[in-house]
Chains A and B, each alone.
Chain A
Amino acid sequence: MRAKRLLSDIVSLTPSNYEDFTRCPRLFYCNALLGLPASDPAPSTDQGLLVHDMLRKIHADGDCYDSEHVADVLVAHGFDTPAVRDMVARHADRCPSRASERAAHEVDVARFHRVPPPMFMATARIDAVWIHDGMIDARDYKTGGKWVDAVSEIAAAHVQAFVLAARARADGYRLRLRYEYLQPEVDEDPEPWELDDEALEAVEEELRAAVSRMWEQEEWRGVNDIEVCRTCRYRSICRDSAAPGEPAWPVLSTDPSGGDA
């Protein structure tokens, strides 16, 4: 279907939908534009959401390095498990709160690109933002696997950098993005990304060019690459899938005549 029937005048970019687009245009198409529910199981996000929520609550009225406070918060919410405690402790080792002047958690940021065309609106929720040493130190907490060695290689981080850049520039701060991997299996975080003006301009142009490519789409052709498709949440139903199959939708596991299949 032609892009003109699908895209908004002002295209919405988020870290996750931009990540989708760079991975496979058809994935972006199915998810961001057609709004289809996943046809195949994806890794659960429950633990990640829980840890994000606990870190926000821990910082709301205390410090992550205060073990009594941490225990109080986790017990109060019924999540005082070794795994969660371990993740919070790993975060505390890297948290810049001691040196920070100001902080905010789960910050929603938006930035509009008007010219040169095409227009787009980028929005992102940043897990934590710390101000210290003349810098906005933005953190993204991760509880999944690590696939890259540097934050600059992560497409989602480019949208995060773009939305934070205007605020950093306006307040005279440098900008650094860091992904904190909280599970014990990951020894080392990817290299943080410190962006100067030149890098930020390059990011804006990269996003603009990507939106331009969206407007040129007629087929929204998928990559048809088994390495990409085998973990895709639309692999069963995607027109261009290299790993097609039967959707995992519960309704298809029942017998239409009434009994279980």
Chain B
Amino acid sequence: MNADDEDDLPRISPRHLRLADELCRRRLSREVHSGKRNVNRTGDMRFAVSNRIEADSRLAQAESGPPRPEAFVEPDELEPEQQALYRAAARGYLDAFGTQAATVIDLGFRTALPELGVELSSNLGIAAELDNGGRELRKVLVGSRRDTKLFDAVDVRIALVRTEEWAPVQLDIVAVDVIEQRRASHSPDVEADRAEAHAWIGDRVARVLELAADPRPQAGRDCQGCAFISGCTKHPG
């Protein structure tokens, strides 16, 4: 179920599922219950290159076939350093997926889970319907730290739950750092792993909502990038 029109449901992100117990509960509560409404504006250029690579990757396989290299057009509006990164990332993407015939579709950014009364909000990556009928989720990273995993068990669970309609019987998850040329893939046992994913996410969502119901502020690292500083009793200024 696509949730783009479900503005009132609490919104749960992968970060909430992973870290809720360590986060400032006030920030957690506001992120879950008010999304980005009534917030301090935060900078938004950190994902300019990766967003552009994903957008162009979708264009490159909007129709069945291997990705069209000409869809990767160097973005004039970005800075020279970003353009250098874009060129390298486009090359890395084509290295990784250039021969694979597929059609890329858009699964949206949110999926409602009516049974839990929330929606899951995440970037699933690029959803490719392979010409052989397979379903492949491509998680594209643009220069990650070498000591970080390309994906983890939480990513897999979210992918399984959010792709239930699109990939009911088979799913391959492929994560590629197109700059560092690292690659990892996983083919879950869709039926068994999806059941486990639903149970795990159900438990974690309950925990997130429990913590968010007690929105005590906690000053610390979580204050960095917090969009809800206004009115926070920890920061009267």
| Interface residues of A, Cβ cutoff 8 Å to B | 1, 5-10, 12, 14, 30, 33-39, 108-115, 119, 121, 123, 125, 234, 237-239, 247, 249-252, 254, 256
Q: Please, what's the 1-or-0 string for B187-231, where 1 marks a CB less than 8 Å from any CB in chain A? A: 000000000000000000000000000000001111111100100
CA of A163 to CA of B67, assembled, Å: 50
Counting CB contacts under 8 A, is B118 at the interface? no
Contacts A9-B41, A35-B47 known; A237 to B81 CB distance under 8 Å? yes
- Asked whether A6 lies within 8 Å of B45 as measured between CB atoms, the reply is yes
- Asked whether A7 lies within 8 Å of B223 as measured between CB atoms, the reply is no
CA of A108 to CA of B226, assembled, Å: 15
Give which listed residue, A1, A115, A234, contacts B237 with CB less than 8 A: A115
Contacts A12-B225, A39-B84, A112-B223 known; A33 to B46 CB distance under 8 Å? yes
- Asked whether B41 lies within 8 Å of A34 as measured between CB atoms, the reply is no
Residues of chain B lying within 8 A (CB to CB) of residue A238: 81
Counting CB contacts under 8 A, is B170 at the interface? no
Min distance, Cβ B100 to any Cβ of chain A, angstroms: 14
Give which listed residue, B45, B79, B88, contacts A239 with CB less than 8 A: B79
Residues of chain A lying within 8 A (CB to CB) of residue B79: 1, 34, 239
- Asked whether B46 lies within 8 Å of A10 as measured between CB atoms, the reply is no
Residues of chain A lying within 8 A (CB to CB) of residue B179: 37, 249-251
Counting CB contacts under 8 A, is B92 at the interface? yes
- Asked whether B42 lies within 8 Å of A9 as measured between CB atoms, the reply is yes
Counting CB contacts under 8 A, is B95 at the interface? yes
Residues of chain B lying within 8 A (CB to CB) of residue A250: 179-181
- Please tell me the number of chain B residues within 8 Å of chain A, measured between CB atoms: 42
- Asked whether A37 lies within 8 Å of B143 as measured between CB atoms, the reply is yes
Give which listed residue, A10, A12, A37, A112, contacts B85 with CB less than 8 A: A37
- Asked whether B224 lies within 8 Å of A36 as measured between CB atoms, the reply is no
Nearest-neighbor residue (CB-CB) of B235 within chain A: A112
Tally of contacts, chain A with chain B, CB under 8 A: 115
Min distance, Cβ B68 to any Cβ of chain A, angstroms: 15
Residues of chain A lying within 8 A (CB to CB) of residue B71: none
- Asked whether A8 lies within 8 Å of B91 as measured between CB atoms, the reply is no
- In the complex, which of the residues B181, B222, B232 has the most CB atoms of chain A within 10 Å of its own CB atom? B181
- Offer 10 A-B interface pairs, CB within 8 angstroms, sorted by A: A1-B79, A8-B40, A9-B41, A37-B144, A37-B179, A110-B224, A121-B223, A238-B81, A239-B81, A249-B143
Residues of chain A lying within 8 A (CB to CB) of residue B236: 114
- Asked whether A249 lies within 8 Å of B40 as measured between CB atoms, the reply is no
| CB proximity to A under 8 Å, residues B142-187 | 142-144, 178-181
Contacts A123-B221, A123-B223, A249-B143 known; A237 to B85 CB distance under 8 Å? yes
Counting CB contacts under 8 A, is B114 at the interface? no
CA of A39 to CA of B236, assembled, Å: 40
Known interface pairs A114-B237, A123-B220, A251-B92; 4 further A-B residue pairs with C-beta atoms within 8 A, sorted by A's residue number: A7-B43, A37-B144, A110-B235, A237-B85
- Asked whether A110 lies within 8 Å of B80 as measured between CB atoms, the reply is no
Counting CB contacts under 8 A, is B55 at the interface? no
Residues of chain A lying within 8 A (CB to CB) of residue B47: 35
Counting CB contacts under 8 A, is B123 at the interface? no
CA of A247 to CA of B82, assembled, Å: 12
Contacts A36-B143, A251-B181 known; A237 to B84 CB distance under 8 Å? yes
Min distance, Cβ A150 to any Cβ of chain B, angstroms: 27
CA of A115 to CA of B80, assembled, Å: 35
Nearest-neighbor residue (CB-CB) of B145 within chain A: A37
Residues of chain A lying within 8 A (CB to CB) of residue B221: 108, 110, 123, 125
Min distance, Cβ B35 to any Cβ of chain A, angstroms: 17
Min distance, Cβ A100 to any Cβ of chain B, angstroms: 22
Contacts A110-B221, A115-B237, A251-B88 known; A237 to B80 CB distance under 8 Å? yes
Counting CB contacts under 8 A, is B62 at the interface? no
- Asked whether B95 lies within 8 Å of A256 as measured between CB atoms, the reply is yes
Nearest-neighbor residue (CB-CB) of A112 within chain B: B235
Residues of chain A lying within 8 A (CB to CB) of residue B180: 249-251
